[in-house]
Structure formats: structure tokens, C-alpha cells
Amino acid sequence: MSDPLARWEPTARDPFDLAKVGHLLRRAGHGAPLRTRRELVRAGLDAALAFVAPPPAEAAPVDLLLREAIAFADADRVRAYRVWLVLQGAHPLRERTSCFWHDHFATGNQKVQDPRAMALQLATFDRLGLGCFDDLLRAMCRDPALLRWLDNDLNTARQPNENFARELFELFTLGRGAYGEADVREAARCFTGWHVRDGVFHLQPHLHDGGPKRLFGTHDVRDGDDVVAAVVARPESARFLARRWLQWFVHPEPDDADVAALAAVYERSGRDIGATLRTLLQSRLFFAAAAWRAKIKSPAEFVIGTVRLLGARAAPTELAVAMASLGETWLEPPSVEGWHRERAWLSPAAWLLRSNFVADLLAGRRGKLRPSPATWFAGVDGPAQQARAAVLLLLDGELDRDGQQHLEAVARAQAGAPPDIAAAAVLHAATCLPEYQLC
Amino acid sequence: MVRRLSVLATLWLGGVVGTAAAQADPSPLLALVPDDAVAVVVVAAPVPLQRALAALVEPLPAELPDELRAQVGLGLVALRRALGGPVGAWLEGVAGGGAVLAWRPAATGPRWWGALRPTDAAAAAAFCDARLPGVRRTLRDGLLVLGDDTAATTGRWPRTDLAARAAVTVGAVAAVDLAALRDRFGGAALARQDARTFALAPIVHALQHADWLQLQWTAAGDRTELVATAAAAWPQATVVPVAAGAPSFEVLAALQLDRDVAALLREPERWLDADGVQAVRSFLSIADGLDGPRSSFVDDLVAQLPAPWSLHVLAASPGDADDDAPPIELPEFVLSAAVADERAVAVALRAAGLLATIANAERAQRGQAPFLVRTCRDEQGHGLCAEPPPWRGPGAPPTEQGLSPTLWYGGGRLALASTQRAARLVCSAAALPGNGPGDRLVLCGPLLARAITANRDVLALARMLDEGEDAAVAQRFVATFAAVADAIAGVEVAVTQDGAATRIALTAERRR
Amino acid sequence: MLNEPSPPILDRRAFLQLCSALPFVQPRDLARLVPAGDDRVLLVLELVGGNDGLNTVIPVDDARYAAARPTLAAVRRGAHALGDGTALHPALGRLHRRVQDGQGAVLHGCGYPAPDRSHFRSRDIWHTAAPLLPRVDARTTGWLGRAAEQLAAATAGPPAVAVGGLEVPLLLRSERVAAPSVRRVEDFQWLSPATAAPIEAAAPVRRLVDGSGTRGGAVRDFVAATAQQAAALADQLTQALRGYRPRADHPATALGRDLQLAAQLTVAGFGTRLVHASLGGFDTHARQLATHAALLAQLDAALDAFLQDVAAHGAGDRLVVLVHSEFGRRVAENASQGTDHGAAAPVLVFGAVRGGVHGPVPDLQRLDDGDLVATTDFRCVYADLLQWLGVDAAAVLGGAFAPAGVAAPR
């Protein structure tokens, strides 16, 4: 009974309610309109899981508009297209997981200088991000953007460049301390000649080091695929990925025991990412109190999430600009380590920018929000009901009495104001509650 | 079939305002207009005008999405119900025989004033009671005055030729007292200096200096036309009109600007604000350096390309529609002007060659292969053409693969174009749509519709990204836009100088 | 105009008193909120395109100058003498007066070894302060970005901002501190959705933020405290700006607007310590005289108004402005009455400086392939300014450089 990853079962005292649905959608997606959330409460946990991760056949083809999105080879456009995909939310878990892999294999266009290659890398995450990790890693070792980003272009038998091999171990699979300098050197030799030509992966046999190489003291390897096969099978790799998934989906500081448990699930599944995450998302660990609002929303979660919670429509180009001003520019991670998350997102100045973004969005000054705020308060009368409606929309009905009273006071002060202005004020105030910054 | 735009342009130029027999004389209505009115609109025959407009719109284009057609249909039904019968019948009762509307500025904001000749006084009274409560109305001599009927009238408006012109027009005529308007609101808003002032110079000048603005709006058959004439002149070089003939290619849009660009570059402070002036100076300090001391960018190049300058947008060449084509079928752009002194061509070619070298160096910095630049020549002209490097890469090629930037000299014109084909076509054409005196904008609806349809996925994506629409809504928007464009044979806006008057004519023609 | 009383800017002590009235702000947060006794501001004003140093600070007495520049030497007429055989361009009258009054300094001959004549490359070098860096990549940081990392701990506001542009320039790039690009001062106020005006201290939403105290978990407490600091920060800025009226005639040019924004941020004293602004158009390959004069006139008017405004608000002694360009231009004029890309050039420094002229007058006899030879490494200027700011210069510059001695002593 102590298995943290055992399936969570609702009870009369702890039912599958709006708060549970909200938690699942925030972590496994970017939120959803209140109507959808209420339907999922009625439909139950399995239906909710099917909603965030529909079977592949039902999901719209991800690269439907990829051809058009990269026609101008413009990074801003690719960014806006990604925001649009997430806003549409056809496959919440996949979009969420692609964000995870973008942070994990953090690649920046500033150096790659090829927005098309960047868009194709993200499309690879959409395609393989919930499949077998072996396949994803093999694809990443041939990904033109990543190879260029980590200088594998310059990696030749004559002059090996260790950048790619080092990050492969340190950032993508094992973590610091789980490999030696000799392993980096040997792996780098395996990737010699794995280059990019005309925007596609190109193997240059004459630049490849064909000599014998040995990894981790035991594995004889020849090329990059051998390195992938050797590294994914390491128990350190399972633990490294499990820790990152727990940090991303459950709690920023996971327990070692939980890491070990999730690593075991991953290994048993045959390194199936989707199966592992689905187990995680219906686990007791996931629905435990410790996970509740334990993370700070990233700018994407804050900006896109707000539009999705309202069930509104907004301009992806403008949302992408807002996210960038809050410190999250997709396609441009600050470093190879991805974004500095959690508390690093939020300084007083960043809090002001977030709050002002919501004010501008609700007032129609930015983002082309449709419909107007009063729509959400249709049929809602009086400050108490307005406060409750805002808390249902934005916080799944979860707010203590003090917060509720403060929100009512805001609503009372709007008595007599035009409906859109009053609604905008109450909704804006709800986003100023500390709970709203938490994911 | 799509009609050639040039034919259309000829039709418009040759067209004369349609006349209607036996219209009521609007003079008695005009005699009641208060002196302090600054703008007056006269419709001698509202019912024929309404019929002409309805005929322009209906039937709705078949390509419009069904739900939109349904919405318009519902709206018409609702309108009939609100009016208690067909629109024409209602209009005949309330304003049969003519209507005059006037706009009187007042301290408390603008006031509308109107005079109608009702043929059915009871219907007119019922309309006023229901729709214009609180508006004073007076019935006298079979004329209905809406608004203040005691305002001073010395008959300054009947002295204009409004009544005479209205009587022969199926449409509306109007006059605006610009001098009074300027007295009232000051000309400060028009005195602003920036790039727009340059682009709209004739119109701004007319609004600043003309005393009267006359407007005439007609609708007849499949055509509607709005002509505005301001009694003022603006300084500029004269233009020799080019007779429009049918070119052998399809022009989707044409823009002609009859302005001396060299004057703008020589005296930017006359036209632009401080930042604009700085931008021009900084541009010139680089542009002038391109050809070294041998020439002056302004004197030896720009000044040798006298007004007008034309921008032609050509329908994309009917290339092979395979997977190797860029996903966007870009229309082709050509900026061109006649050359006064052929020595300018050599200056332009040298500058273009250097710019191409710089652009290629920047591409190299981004790890991109250079465009292949070479000089080209045929019987009709010569120039410098840049071809994209052969495309090898994943997916469909990017849009730039459809470009072959070209500087071309032929037929006495110098052209800067997005493709070599377009440059040659424009320079070798005997005549081009959009040519003629003055500033002109010509749009060809069916070609525009074809370009929209060819690129509908890209345009729909733009709606999704810029407006936040989902895929279905965005596709519907693009389809609607294309259907509306396809139903309009063409639109022309011409700003010309006619003696001391500035004339702005807007013509549109419905296509069936 | 200068005799008007200073506006009621909240000083550190008053602000701490005000904050101590807030129930949920911890003393350690206060330290973050108010700069620790130091609110010095550095404005870096970059002249993009390669400003012609020789026609900015003109060696009027050197016959070789006139010989090398048959037409461009015309600027000697009306130039403002500096006393060491050089003179400022005629369009720089106001800035010249500041140098004479001890509020401005000219430092001759700044550059770096093995100068690069590419705009991009040379700008990268000035921005990174790393002439040997082989190429800029995703991990490259800028010198002000690295300085901001040191200052970030002591301020709640953004320690570094770029004014005017859309993109954050390389010199502000840091892995840890995001430097926003600011176009309007309102970005750092707390705005009401209805009016887009600052939210009043008595507004119910303000009570909601201040009242969302520490009763949840650690993360929620962190967010609540951050929000309260943010509201207090916004108040401070609003209060400071309420007293702010421009006390100088900021010209209606893009640079004038940018520098007025920089003045607001400086005067408000809410923790922004590093500001970057730029003026483009200095790539004067042809017919340089008029273009260059107009650009310098723009600089002269905008910068003088900025300095006057900041001083009139009592903040003149905690401000330094560095004016530089990516390179100077060649000594000899070209055949188009312009100049091509060159090497060393003077920098101008204003505000809390040791006024006057520093460094040896450029030697037109000893040229390196037709270019002036640098007599001061620009990193010595950086070291000087960083030291004045109270930042560990060696850590920022990746080595010790002798301060140029232009900034006022601390």
C-alpha cells in the first residue's frame, strides 16, 4: 500500500472534484475552460486522462500546418505557431511534454540560425516525445538543430569536439557524476562525422573515427547509435529522467524514494515515456497534498493558461511577445541548461509585468481577447457571486475565506461600473492572489 | 473568365455617369438648408439609387460560405419586417422625390439637419415617431424638415450647382465647405509632417487650400463610382498619360505615385519629421558611398527617374505546382520608373551589385549559401539578376526560393523586381494598367481572389496566429474574403489634377 | 528653473519606515527592496555605425589632419577648443560647456588590440568586452549583463534595462538576470485594468495583495511576499514619478524620448542601475559633413537635456554617462567626402566625472595602416566605471584592467 505510484482512487471524503481536474489539467496541459473542467468532473478520472492524452488516432496531425508555419523561415512565426498549438489544446499532454523536451534538449535559434530546423525539432518532440526514449534520443542525435547547437558540425576524427557528447551525458541522460571524462572522450569519437548538410543530418564516413572505443569501462561501441543504446540502459539514466519528470509534473524537490519508484516504472515499461507519465498522472503521489500548487507557473503556463482557463480566444503572436517579456522566449533558452524555473521566474518586477499583462489582456489593450470579460459574469449578480465566479474560473473554486472576502471587496468597489470593467477588475484581482501564480 | 484589368480601366475612363430621366428637382429642398451647414448631401431619386445599390450587391456571390449568405438573408428579412414592407416601397413613401441631409457643426457637437419630399406623409410621420423620437419635424408645402426649421437661410446652398447635378445623377451629390471647416476646426491636424503627408500630398494640399470639395456618387449597372473634386492645385511635374492597352500578363494590383522622390531626398525636412529626416540622411550617407565619388545617389540616379513611380503586383507565374514549390505562391512585385538619362542605369547597376555582395556576405554569416548574381541581357534590355542557390533541405523550400531579385533596364524603364520574369514583363509591356495621370491604385478582384485561394492555408495560418482563430474559422474568413474579391471585377482610385482642381475618383465594378 | 525645490522623492530611510508598516514584508526582503546605500546609475549611450572620432574631437592644431581631410576639415571652423590642441565638433556646444564646467570628460584614443573593421564583430567586442572571443553564441554574455548579476541581489527593480529598442542588446545579456527592453515607464507601475493608471494604495486589490499573508506553504509565502514587494516597488516608482516633471526641454527626437525615459528611471531610484540607449546612422561613407553634424546636434541636445533633467532632480552626482561607438573612422577621407571604417576613437563621459581631457592627443604621424592607434584599452574605461558603480570589475571583465581614472572617486 506504500507504493507512491499506485493508482489514486477517489473516496467519498476525497472525491474527484473540480480541484483535482484543475490540478491534472494544469500539470498535464495548460488548463481548460470551466465547462470542460466540469464535464470531466462528471466523467471521472479515466475520461480526464483520455482528455489530456487522447489515443493517437483521435489527435489532430501535429504537423498539419508546419509547412505553412515555416514558409517564411521566421523564428517569431514558429514561436507563435507553437503558442497557437498549445492554445488549441488538441492534445494537452503532448504539447506539455514537447515543452518539457524543449527545456530538456534546450536549443537556441540565436546560434542555430535556422528557424525551420527549430520548428522541425519541436515537431519531432510532438511525434516522439511520448514514445520510447530510445527512439527520441536517437532522433535527437540526428537532429540538425541540436547537432549545430552543440558544435557537432565541428566534431571530426582529426579534431574531436566533445561538446555534444558531454551534454548528452550531463544534461540529456545521466547527470553530473554518472560518467567519467574518458566516457566523454570516447562518446565524442563515436559522434565524429555526424554532421549537418543542407539542413538535414549527414553522415560523413571519411570524418568518422572508426577505431575501437569503450564506454563505462565495459561497452564496446562504434558509433552514436551504440552510445544511445548503452546510455539509455544505465540505471542512472532512468533515475535522471524520473527526477526531471517529477520536478516538472509533481514537485520541484522530489523524494529519492519517489524517484526510484518512477525510474522502476519507466524501466518496466520498456522506457515508454507516455506509459510512464500516464502512470504518474493517475498516481497517489500526483494527487497528494504535497504536490498541490507546489510549483510556480512559468510565463507560458501563466499567459497561455489564463486564456485557456477563461475559454477565450487571443492572438498567439502577442502572447508570445508577452511570454518573452516575462522571461520565456521559446526557441531561445537562456543556456544549454534550459530555463531557470520555479522561483527564478518571479521577481517583484516580473510579478508587476505579469499583473500588468493580465490587466491589459482583460481590458482589450493587448492580445485581442475575445469575448469580452463581462461574458463570463453573465447571469452572475452581486459581489459575492462575482467573486465566486472568478474563483471558479481561475482557481477551480479553491480559495480561503480571507481571499474570498478580499475579492468580494474588489467586486463591491466596482458597483455601478460598466459590466466589462467590473468583470475585468474582479478577474484581474483574482490573478493577483498568490495561489494564481502557482501551478 | 477573368477579364483583363486594362480593358476594365479603359471602360472606366470612357464611362460617363448614367443619367436618369424625369427626376424630381431637388431645388426646393436645397432652399431650406441652413447657412451654417458645412456639408450637404443631395439625393434626387432615392428609390432608383436604392435599386441600383441592391442590384450591385445581389445576388450574393455563390462562393460565399452558406452561413454568411444565410446571415445576410436573415438581415434583409429583418429589415423588411422593421420597415413594414419592401425597402423601396418604404423609401418611396418617406422620401420619394428627393432628400437633402446637412451637417451643422455646433458648440455641443455636430447636428444633423434634413429635408425630405415624402409622397406619403402618413408613412413619413409614422417613421419619424418610431425612429426619430425627439427630433423636431415640420411639414410644409409637401416638404418634411427634420431638425431646426428656424435656422437662418439666405440661400447660399441653392446657389451651388448641387441641385442641377443631382437631377441628372442616379446617386448622390454632396458639397463640403472646406474653408468653413478649417475656420471651425483649424488646419493644425493637417499641418503635421511625416511620411504619410508625402504619400498623400495632393489630398493634404487640397484639404489645406481648397475652398470647396464636391462629391458625386453614382451607381449604374455593375458599376459604382465616387468622384471627389477639390478646387485647388498642387505643385508637381506634369505627367504624360499612357494609353491603356492590354498587357500580355496579369496585373493583380498597381500603384502609381506621381511624386518627385529626388525632391524628398534633397529636402527631407520639407516633408518629414525630425526622425524621418535623420533616417533619410543616414540612408544617403551609405547609399552615396556605394558608387564612391563617381556619382551622386540623388542627382545621378533618383533624379533621373522622374515621376511617376509605379509598383505593379503580378499574379504568380503559373509554375509547376509540385511539392518542390514553396508553400506560398508569392505574387511578383515590380517597382519601376521611366529613365530620363541612361547614365543612371549604370549607376543603379553598380549600386545593386554592391548591395548584392553585402547581402550575400550577411547570408554567409548566417551559414546560408549565397544568391548567384549575374548580368543578364536579351533583345529588349539588360540587368542584374540574383538567383537563389539550388534548394536542398528538409520539407518544402522556404519562400525565398521563389524570388529572383532583379534590377532590369528595358523599354526606357528601370525596374526593381522580386523576379526576373516580372521585371522583363513590365519593362517590355506597351501599356500597363494603373498608368495614366496622377496617383492611382488599381486592384483586380478575380486575380486577387485567385492569389488568396492559392495561398489560403498560409493566410488562414496568419489569421490563427494574429487573431487567435481556430483553423475552421480562419479558413472561413479567407474563403469569404476570396469570394468577395472575386465578385468585384476591379477597383480604381485615381487622384488627378484637373486645372486648378484636385479630383479623386473611386470606381468599383461588380463581376458576375 | 534650477532653483525649484526638489520633488519629494522617497529616500531610503523614509521608504524603510513605510515598509516596516507592511505586516508581511520581512526585514531581509527590505534589504532586497532598497539598494544598499548605493543608487548610482550608469547610462551607456552607443553611437551605432562607427562615429568619426576625428571629426568629433578634432585635432585642430595638427596640419596632418587638414591634409588628410581636404573637405571634412571644414568642421574646424566653429569648433569648441578643449585646450590641448583638440576641439569638439561645432554641433557639440552644450556638451563642450559641460566639459568646461567639469561635468564632462573626453578620453582620447580608446580601442583594443588588433582592431576589427566589421560593424558586427567590433560591436560584439565592445559589448562582450572580450576581443579574443572567437564567436558569439548562446552562452555569450555582455559586460553590463555580468555587472547586473552582481547588482541584482541588492535591488527589487530590474537592475539593467535597454530603453527605446525592441531587442535587448548583447551587452545586457546574462544567463541569470533578464534585462527588459523598456519603452514606457508604466511597465514597472502596477496598472489597473480599467484605466491603465497606477493602482491606488487604498484600492481593494491592493489590500488583497497585502492581506494575502503567510499562511500557506513555503512557495505560496514566497509568492505573497514577492507580490507585496512588487506593490511597494510600484508605489515607490509612482510616488517618485508623481513628483517628476521634466526639468529640461527633452527634444522631440527618438533619442530625446529614450533619454527622457532613462531620466525617469534614474530619478525614480527604484533600483535600475544600468541603462543602455543608442543612436544610429553614424556609418558616414559619403557626404559626411551635413549628416554627421545633424547626428551630433541631436546627441548634443538630447544628452544635455537628460543631464540637466537628472541634475535638477538632485540625482546628478550619482550618474555617469558613457558615450562610445564600435570604432572610429579612417584618418584620410575617401573620395566621396566621407570616411570608411577605422579603429581607435575618443569616448565621452559625463556626470560624476573628473572633468576635462584625458589621455594623449592622437598621434597622426604614427598610424597603423592608416588608422589611429589606441592609447587606452576600452576595458580600462569599463573597469573605471564598474569600480565607480561598486561592482567587482575584474570579475566582470575576466581580468584586472587599470581604471582609466575618468569617473569621480568613490
* Comparison of pLDDT for A246 and B228, the residue scoring more: A246
**Residue span of the structural domain in which A156 resides:** 147-232
How far apart are alpha carbons A321 and A329 in whole angstroms? 8
Rounded alpha-carbon distances, angstroms, from residue B505 to A184, B218, B502, C205: 74, 11, 10, 56
The last residue of a domain, from among A232, A250, A268: A232
ipTM higher than 0.85? Answer: yes
How many other CB atoms are there within 10 angstroms of residue A72's CB atom? 19
DSSP bridge pairs for C277: C45
Chain A nearest-CA residue for C32: A348
B87: cell is 425597402
**Residue A214 binned pLDDT confidence (cut-offs 50, 70, 90):** very high
Whether the CB-CB separation of A390 and A383 falls below 8 Å is answered with no
How far apart are alpha carbons C58 and C50 in whole angstroms? 16
How far apart are alpha carbons B204 and B504 in whole angstroms? 12
What does C114-151 look like in DSSP terms, one character per residue?
S----HHHHHHHHHHT-TT-----TT---HHHHHHHHH
Mutate to test the interface with B, among A62, A64, A65 (most CBs of B within 10 A): A65
Q: What percent of chain A has pLDDT over 90?
A: 84
Chains linked to B by 3 or more Cβ pairs within 8 Å: A, C
Q: Does residue A225 sit in the same domain as residue A352?
A: no
pLDDT of residue C324: 97
Mean pLDDT on C280-284: 88
Mean pLDDT on B278-287: 87
Contacts of A87 in chain B (CB under 8 A): 468
Chain C nearest-CA residue for B294: C336
Nearest CA of chain C to the CA of A427: how many Å? 10
Chain B nearest-CA residue for C296: B278
The last residue of a domain, from among A201, A232, A263: A232
Residue keyed to cell 467586486: A411
How far apart are alpha carbons B91 and B83 in whole angstroms? 9
A327/C178 CB distance under 8 A: yes
Most confident segment among A67-76, A407-416, B483-492: A407-416
A320: cell is 508570445
How far apart are alpha carbons B198 and C215 in whole angstroms? 63
Strands C87-88, C57-58: pairing kind: antiparallel
Mean pLDDT on A326-349: 86
C204/A438 CB distance under 8 A: no
A406/C211 CB distance under 8 A: yes
Q: What percent of chain C has pLDDT over 90?
A: 61
* Comparison of pLDDT for C386 and B212, the residue scoring more: C386
**Residue B17 binned pLDDT confidence (cut-offs 50, 70, 90):** very low
Contacts of A84 in chain B (CB under 8 A): 464-465, 468
Rounded alpha-carbon distances, angstroms, from residue C13 to C10, C18, C19, C20, C314: 8, 9, 10, 11, 17
Mean pLDDT on A65-91: 92
Nearest CA of chain C to the CA of B416: how many Å? 24
**Which residues have a Cβ under 8 Å from the Cβ of B81 and sit 6 or more positions away?**
none
Residues of chain B whose beta carbon is less than 8 angstroms from a beta carbon of chain A are 326-328, 366-367, 392-396, 398-400, 457-458, 461, 464-471
Which among C251, C288, C298 has the least Cβ separation from residue B285?
A: C288
Q: How far is CA A282 from the centre of its chain?
A: 18
In this predicted model, what pLDDT tens digit does every residue of C176-235 receive, in sequence order?
777 777 777 787 889 999 999 999 888 999 999 998 876 667 899 889 988 998 898 888
**Residue B167 binned pLDDT confidence (cut-offs 50, 70, 90):** confident
pLDDT of residue A271: 98
Nearest CA of chain B to the CA of C143: how many Å? 24
Residue A120 has pLDDT above 50, yes or no: yes
B394/A68 CB distance under 8 A: no
A356/C157 CB distance under 8 A: no
How far apart are alpha carbons C53 and B433 in whole angstroms? 52
Q: Quick check: is A410 in a domain?
A: yes
Average pLDDT over chain B reads 83
Tell me phi and psi for residue C370, to 5 degrees.
85, 5
Q: Quick check: is A244 in a domain?
A: no
**Residue C4 binned pLDDT confidence (cut-offs 50, 70, 90):** very low
**Residue B191 binned pLDDT confidence (cut-offs 50, 70, 90):** low
Contacts of A306 in chain B (CB under 8 A): none
A113/B366 CB distance under 8 A: yes
**Residue C16 binned pLDDT confidence (cut-offs 50, 70, 90):** very low
Chain C nearest-CA residue for A363: C193
Q: How large is the angle between the packed helices A273-281 and A256-268, nearest 10 degrees?
A: 130
Chain B nearest-CA residue for A76: B465
**Residue A238 binned pLDDT confidence (cut-offs 50, 70, 90):** very high
Nearest CA of chain A to the CA of B41: how many Å? 37
Q: Say yes or no: C182 contacts chain A, CB-CB below 8 A.
A: no
Residue A63 has pLDDT above 80, yes or no: no
Tally of domains in chain A: 2
Which among B366, B392, B458 has the least Cβ separation from residue A71?
A: B458
Q: Write down all domains in chain C, each with its CATH number in brackets.
A: 41-185+249-255+274-397 (3.40.720)
Which among A362, A400, A406 has the least Cβ separation from residue C207?
A: A406
Q: Quick check: is A243 in a domain?
A: no
Contacts of B325 in chain A (CB under 8 A): none
Chain B nearest-CA residue for A304: B468
**Which residues have a Cβ under 8 Å from the Cβ of C107 and sit 6 or more positions away?**
C346, C347, C348, C349, C357, C358, C359, C376, C381, C404, C406
Nearest CA of chain B to the CA of C241: how many Å? 27
pLDDT of residue C156: 67
Average pLDDT over chain C reads 86
Q: Which of A322, A273, A225 is nearest to A94 (CA)?
A: A273
* Comparison of pLDDT for B172 and B208, the residue scoring more: B172
What does B280-333 look like in DSSP terms, one character per residue?
HHHHHHHHHHHTGGG--IIIIIGGGSPSPEEEEEEPPP----STTS-SS-PPEE
Residue C109 has pLDDT above 90, yes or no: yes
Q: Does residue A354 sit in the same domain as residue A429?
A: yes
Mean pLDDT on C143-162: 86
Q: Quick check: is A413 in a domain?
A: yes
Contacts of C26 in chain A (CB under 8 A): none
Q: Does residue A223 sit in the same domain as residue A312?
A: no
DSSP state of A12: S
Contacts of A81 in chain B (CB under 8 A): 461, 465
Residue C23 has pLDDT above 70, yes or no: no
Chains linked to A by 3 or more Cβ pairs within 8 Å: B, C
The last residue of a domain, from among A232, A260, A277: A232
Residue B109 has pLDDT above 90, yes or no: no
pLDDT of residue B319: 63
**Residue C33 binned pLDDT confidence (cut-offs 50, 70, 90):** very low
pLDDT of residue C15: 41
In this predicted model, what pLDDT tens digit does every residue of B389-432 receive, in sequence order?
988 888 788 888 889 999 999 999 999 999 999 999 999 987 77
Q: Quick check: is A142 in a domain?
A: no
Dihedral angle, C-alpha C187, C190, C196, C197, nearest 10 °: -110
Which segment of A105-114, A379-388, C30-39, C186-195 scores lowest on mean pLDDT?
Answer: C30-39
How far apart are alpha carbons B255 and B277 in whole angstroms? 25
93-132 of C, contacting A, C-beta below 8 A: none
Q: What percent of chain C has pLDDT over 70?
A: 88
Residue B245 has pLDDT above 60, yes or no: no
B455: cell is 495561398
**Residue A58 binned pLDDT confidence (cut-offs 50, 70, 90):** low
Contacts of B286 in chain C (CB under 8 A): 283, 285-286
Contacts of C120 in chain B (CB under 8 A): 365
Nearest CA of chain C to the CA of B296: how many Å? 9
How many other CB atoms are there within 10 angstroms of residue C190's CB atom? 27
DSSP bridge pairs for B172: B217
**Residue A414 binned pLDDT confidence (cut-offs 50, 70, 90):** very high
Contacts of B465 in chain A (CB under 8 A): 77, 80-81, 84, 315-317
Rounded alpha-carbon distances, angstroms, from residue C47 to B416, C50, C255: 32, 7, 11
pLDDT of residue C168: 74
pLDDT of residue A376: 93
Please report how many Cα atoms fall inside a 13 Å half-sphere around the Cα of residue C271, on the Cβ side: 30
DSSP state of C92: G
Residue B246 has pLDDT above 70, yes or no: no
Q: Quick check: is A330 in a domain?
A: yes
C294/B275 CB distance under 8 A: no
Size of interface A-B (CB pairs under 8 A): 76
Q: What percent of chain B has pLDDT over 90?
A: 32
How far apart are alpha carbons C353 and B452 in whole angstroms? 62
Residue B35 has pLDDT above 70, yes or no: yes
Q: Does residue A330 sit in the same domain as residue A417?
A: yes
Mutate to test the interface with C, among B192, B266, B288 (most CBs of C within 10 A): B288
Residue B76 has pLDDT above 60, yes or no: yes
Which segment of A100-109, C184-193, C328-337 scores lowest on mean pLDDT?
Answer: C184-193
What does A363-391 look like in DSSP terms, one character per residue?
TTSSS--BS-GGGGGTT--SHHHHHHHHH
A428/C193 CB distance under 8 A: yes
R_g of chain C, CA atoms, integer Å: 23
In this predicted model, what pLDDT tens digit does every residue of B336-383 receive, in sequence order?
999 999 999 999 999 999 899 988 988 887 778 899 999 999 999 999
pLDDT of residue B244: 39
pLDDT of residue B232: 59
Mean pLDDT on B183-197: 72
DSSP bridge pairs for C105: C349, C356
How many other CB atoms are there within 10 angstroms of residue A341's CB atom? 15
Mutate to test the interface with A, among C208, C222, C270, C273 (most CBs of A within 10 A): C208
